[in-house]
Structure 1
């Protein structure tokens, strides 16, 4: 007999032990369990499933559902009928929950009292012997989880036999759940949500949190939620359905930041601080919340309720400025949380909130209600999450840990990041006494499908029930790898029902290889939707061609591989179809990038690329894009309501319009500086004999507007709009707003490599720093240049000795996106381009820990210099500091136009 204790000192090699080292080899190949049990003892014997099995269960109706699940599993999986008998002596399978009054006739079948105490409320004891199966739990809930384990053993049984074994099992964390974002894109249908509850309960998760900003219907505020949002009645229906599966719904309603969908409505302007945050300085805010938040609380039965309160970007930048200036951000934040807590207490709720603001401003912590449940969150693959947890642990708060499946804004989830993030966060949470885990699935750009998230969500179930234990990262890495290998084999068999010689996970792991190809944007959705008319920096063209050819080849092969494997899966084919669609989108993005290179060549030299070849490629891309759109509609509708689908389809349509506009698209480019303060503007199309009409006063160009004859320059700020006319066809309007200054059009020499995380971060290449185009509040708008983990040196040649009164540039900060303002900016001048004189230094005036979206101008101040050359030296803050959730990783610098006055 072999004993496997999957806990404490033996935990380091759990996966290796469970899946082959202590088991007889033939049995080990058949044992696939998710999550892994805490203790397991095996032997060489087997229990043979006969064509009919006699079951005995204590008579409580509470156990009827678990019994039905087991009977259905025997019938559907094995073709075995089962009958209830009156005596355990006559039963081949015994199910018993002790909380239904222990029966004297079952006592001899029970484990010892020590085991019963060890398994607790949610655990179970399962013993499979040669002639009998005994499943014992203290509660109905524990019995349910034991049945899930027994069902998995039946699902993977060979020749109608189960391995003889003894499992003593219980969860490491009391609360084990997942959070689905239903506010920034897809809203799942009621039926899909029920199906998700059913599936995830099989892996012993026990709560669901629906992240809500504006998507719970409230007839008192009927102008807030979309018409196909969740209703309180649907929440109640879900609660009733989920109860059978021992899953609860925990309420969720953002009540501080992330309120833009509500505050965009002019009728709620009075309660807005800025476009994201509620105004804590207005009594109207609390009148609104008393009803709106109160009604949301009443829609849920469970006593816990999540108020969000994360990422309160720019608190006090609007109507609450006077209050924040007077009391301080920390005091105002804490005051608001206390008021929200008072509202929820009136409805018998215990407040949960995200912990990011408090952990970064720890003076808030002592001002919060002591019965709060803090959700400590972070989604990066850190070696340790101690610093994200300890401030709350040491202050005496109950807390849960909140890792994530890393699917948001991605073509397909980053499985590697999610695996480490979830495993290490849950491990550290357990170490410090976490109540539970809430595994998050966000929808930041609205495109993510839940059917892409199953691996991360079920891996979260694995870790929350039985976490890894190694603290030292080298050993933790080995333990994760061992557990993951066993998990993936089980996931193939239990989730996808794949044949023994086939693996979906081997294919899904190939997304890792795609992600490692260094294309701009890598595997982000942004790489699919970038404009075909945004060209690459010249110095990157060769690399872009090589990497995208590689991406096209590998992504196309993976899509075909997944298409074939979907035919072999016995279940969850839709999840494979979602992955196949992701691979096809990655291939399309690569084809589009190669097409952009052709356009770029043709734009630079009309004879470089055949115009017919360009049209032929365009037509193929257009057809493929339409296929992708139709495919996306089908996989969307398999899980979601109509809301937000049109927003996503607009991305396909906008790209299609660009492809159709190929002959008549007008390129508006900053040309050469004719002299300081005057810049040439170039208008062009790819095809000859195309008429271009333009305006510089913001008006829309028509057939009667100024005809471009090859000569156009500006000497003051202007919005240039242009439209092309060819063979009776009118093109789309192109527009750019130029800021005029003395360095306009100067060609920068830059020491520093622009980030390849997103094509937009190149901002058109070096010239993007002096093209007169300023960035917006969206750092991915193609106007900001992004650099990771480095200082930046920019030298400008003004061509002639020029009077210089000021040099400045804008910089961006957003902590959640790892973007920090520079430590300092140094300004130099020179007349020969070799010997530079430092004329000013601008230090960073902003606290690096300030939350929100910050755009700060770094200026030399007033100067009285005459020089031909200017040098700007930007000093990075270096790696993200210890207090940041991404500590040790490279921070980003984002800078905008360098302006010389």
Structure 2
């Protein structure tokens, strides 16, 4: 691609446009265009007429999106559009705390993708994965970012019109740091800091200093969500019982004062205010009113982040937005790109929830919007599986478009990925007996991968035909990889997973059925053919996961994926050994197979509920025993 025919850009802007387009294939049509760039009052403008183009842009962010649109439509004889963003902040939050810390090059790649879509901010969610001078155990062996790495990411993002906003925790979710004796004195309970202690305040002061040393943004997300046990551990022993709302207000006041010291405008998750007002501790409970004294205790400069990844009904979002109105604080909405349920994204559910949320946000005039990409329980799924959801939010922001076809065209133009294929990743979570079409975040691919073949904890939730389904999924993922060469590694991983599940999904049914019938030929076939084949396929999956992980992330955290998959292999080996020993008379019985199978979720035997589950974390899937 040549920029020889571009006029009106400063050298810095020209470099930014060249950089934001560098991932995309060369375009002869773009090279032939005479392009004039000039500032405009708001948003962006693009006009193409018979070999010439005019691009108007009101910001660096608008210029980056306009460059992507220019690349997309360069071959058309006539094209014209004007776009203005509905949201003053459109951001993506990338979880870097659940083992997968993105390499700097991966952060930069995500910056280019987001810039082409029209995002103006990114957050790297870092609980303990950033370096704090003088605190060597904070993020120890976790792949923490150095200040130099953060500065490199920050400068790169800024060049593309993206503000890299620090996103940390200053109350809870600090279990990785609090495991170390260095922090034991300031642990209240679980993953919660001991508030009101000067040592806690010094740690938070150091956190803010570290963020300021690495990132230039004057905004910061200070977390403070899901601290339901606040004040019920060491704090209770030291101070006696106090209402959590009082403790929260005092801690927030101290943290905000520290933010002022460092020149930060803070934002925080809003759920604790509603949980404390609810008799059940729920966030979305209807009819809950936050007491006026709690509302008044929130400093006015704090932006409240209402997070909701779950609802597919606009009315829920409408109601929650209204419940935030009594606060005098700016409001930010955070939706979710569901990549936190295992290796497979729950993209259909993400898109359903996103469309419901966006309908409400646009009607209600919410101006700050964030798309979260959490990595709960190990961050197995690639952050780049979020692309369909990110693109949907971007199109809704810039032109109000949420229909499948235009969003898909823009996604392919911005990312080189075909939306239909990316959404199709979710087919691994759609076995033949699933009928809800993405109304729930069910993830059978995860619990079928990690459940023990002898114990069969989820076997009552499996139907015949699953194996054949996963065989079809494996072929589908391989074909999708060929259609999406830039993202082939993602599809290779899912193809390898589907190949494992082709054998493993029904193996518990086969083992139990053959054992109960005393079908020795069937047991022998399982021991001599099926289980060895499963072991070979698990080895292929382990390698695919390793390749994907190291391509995107630092090596820290890969150990968890390898431990888990090695466990799958080891238990398949043990099943093989147990069946062989039983057939050869060295075992009188296979104790696990002698047990009756129960429903995992405890439902009654006559339940007509869907068998599919939104599976728990790995430890609860892998074994009923104590890890």
Match of 2:15 in 1: 65
Matches of 2:125 and 2:194 in 1, distance apart?
Answer: 21
How do 1:839-850 residues align onto structure 2 when only pairs under 5 Å count?
none
Equivalent residue in structure 2 for 1:442, among 374, 383, 392: 374
Q: Count how many residue pairs are aligned between Structure 1 and Structure 2.
A: 590
Instruction: Say which structure is richer in helix.
Output: 2
How do 1:486-525 residues align onto structure 2 when only pairs under 5 Å count?
486-496=406-416, 505=420, 508-509=423-424, 511-512=426-427, 514-515=429-430, 517-518=432-433, 522-525=443-446
Deviations 1:38-73 (A, max 9, x none): xxxxxxxxxxx9x99744316x44433356469989
Alpha-carbon spacing, 1:396–1:71, altered in 2? closer, same or farther (3 Å):
closer
CA contact (8 A) 2:68 2:414 kept: no
Indicate yes or no: 2:39 matched with 1:97: yes
Matches of 2:342 and 2:194 in 1, distance apart?
Answer: 33
Equivalent residue in structure 1 for 2:503, among 583, 588, 591: 591
Match of 1:652 in 2: 565
Higher RCO (Cα < 8 Å, 6 or more apart): 2
How do 1:71-220 residues align onto structure 2 when only pairs under 5 Å count?
76-78=26-28, 92-97=34-39, 116=41, 120=42, 123-130=43-50, 132-154=52-74, 157=75, 162-220=76-134
Match of 1:388 in 2: 320
Q: Could you say what secondary structure the match of 1:273 adopts?
A: strand
Q: Could you say what secondary structure the match of 1:183 adopts?
A: coil
Alpha-carbon RMSD across the aligned residues, in angstroms, is 3.6
Alpha-carbon spacing, 1:380–1:531, altered in 2? closer, same or farther (3 Å):
same
The alpha carbon displacement at 1:74 in A equals 11
Deviations 1:295-336 (A, max 9, x none): 334432101101111111422331122578643011111221
Indicate yes or no: 2:180 matched with 1:277: no
Q: Could you say what secondary structure the match of 2:90 adopts?
A: strand
Q: Could you say what secondary structure the match of 2:331 adopts?
A: strand
CA contact (8 A) 1:294 1:344 kept: no
Indicate yes or no: 2:321 matched with 1:371: no
Q: Could you say what secondary structure the match of 1:638 adopts?
A: helix
Alpha-carbon spacing, 1:278–1:394, altered in 2? closer, same or farther (3 Å):
same
Deviations 1:142-176 (A, max 9, x none): 4443333212212xx2xxxx232332221111111
Indicate yes or no: 2:348 matched with 1:428: no
Deviations 1:349-399 (A, max 9, x none): 011111111233323333111111111111113222123222323322112
Q: Could you say what secondary structure the match of 1:488 adopts?
A: helix
CA contact (8 A) 1:124 1:136 kept: yes
The alpha carbon displacement at 1:522 in A equals 4.3
Matches of 2:119 and 2:84 in 1, distance apart?
Answer: 13
Q: Could you say what secondary structure the match of 1:396 adopts?
A: coil
Match of 1:459 in 2: 392
Q: Could you say what secondary structure the match of 2:137 adopts?
A: coil
The alpha carbon displacement at 1:614 in A equals 1.8
Deviations 1:198-243 (A, max 9, x none): 1221111111101111110123111121343211111111111112
TM-score by length of 2: 0.84
How do 1:645-724 residues align onto structure 2 when only pairs under 5 Å count?
645-662=558-575, 665=578, 686-687=582-583, 689-690=585-586
The alpha carbon displacement at 1:401 in A equals 0.9
Q: Could you say what secondary structure the match of 1:226 adopts?
A: coil
Matches of 2:325 and 2:77 in 1, distance apart?
Answer: 43
Q: Could you say what secondary structure the match of 1:345 adopts?
A: helix
Match of 1:579 in 2: 491
The alpha carbon displacement at 1:277 in A equals 0.8
Rg larger in 1 or in 2?
A: 1
The alpha carbon displacement at 1:281 in A equals 4.3
Equivalent residue in structure 2 for 1:226, among 112, 133, 140: 140
Alpha-carbon spacing, 1:64–1:494, altered in 2? closer, same or farther (3 Å):
closer
CA contact (8 A) 1:437 1:464 kept: no
Matches of 1:442 and 1:507 in 2, distance apart?
Answer: 18
How do 1:293-442 residues align onto structure 2 when only pairs under 5 Å count?
293-321=208-236, 326-360=241-275, 361=277, 362-363=290-291, 364-384=294-314, 385-442=317-374
Q: Could you say what secondary structure the match of 2:56 adopts?
A: strand
Match of 1:886 in 2: none
The alpha carbon displacement at 1:415 in A equals 1.8
Deviations 1:849-886 (A, max 9, x none): xxxxxxxxxxxxxxxxxxxxxxxxxxxxxxxxxxxxxx
CA contact (8 A) 1:393 1:432 kept: no
Matches of 1:68 and 1:493 in 2, distance apart?
Answer: 16
CA contact (8 A) 1:507 1:561 kept: no
Residue segments in structure 2 that go unaligned for 5+ positions in a row: 278-289, 435-440, 593-601
Equivalent residue in structure 2 for 1:628, among 526, 536, 541: 541
Residue segments in structure 1 that go unaligned for 5+ positions in a row: 1-48, 83-90, 99-115, 469-479, 498-502, 667-683, 693-709, 711-722, 725-733, 735-746, 762-775, 785-901
CA contact (8 A) 1:178 1:207 kept: yes
Deviations 1:706-744 (A, max 9, x none): xxxx9xxxxxxxxxxxx99xxxxxxxxx9xxxxxxxxxx
The alpha carbon displacement at 1:76 in A equals 2.9
Indicate yes or no: 2:448 matched with 1:527: yes
Match of 1:544 in 2: 462
Matches of 2:197 and 2:56 in 1, distance apart?
Answer: 57
Deviations 1:517-546 (A, max 9, x none): 3489743422210111213689x4xx8342
CA contact (8 A) 1:177 1:206 kept: yes
Matches of 1:163 and 1:751 in 2, distance apart?
Answer: 64
Match of 1:718 in 2: none
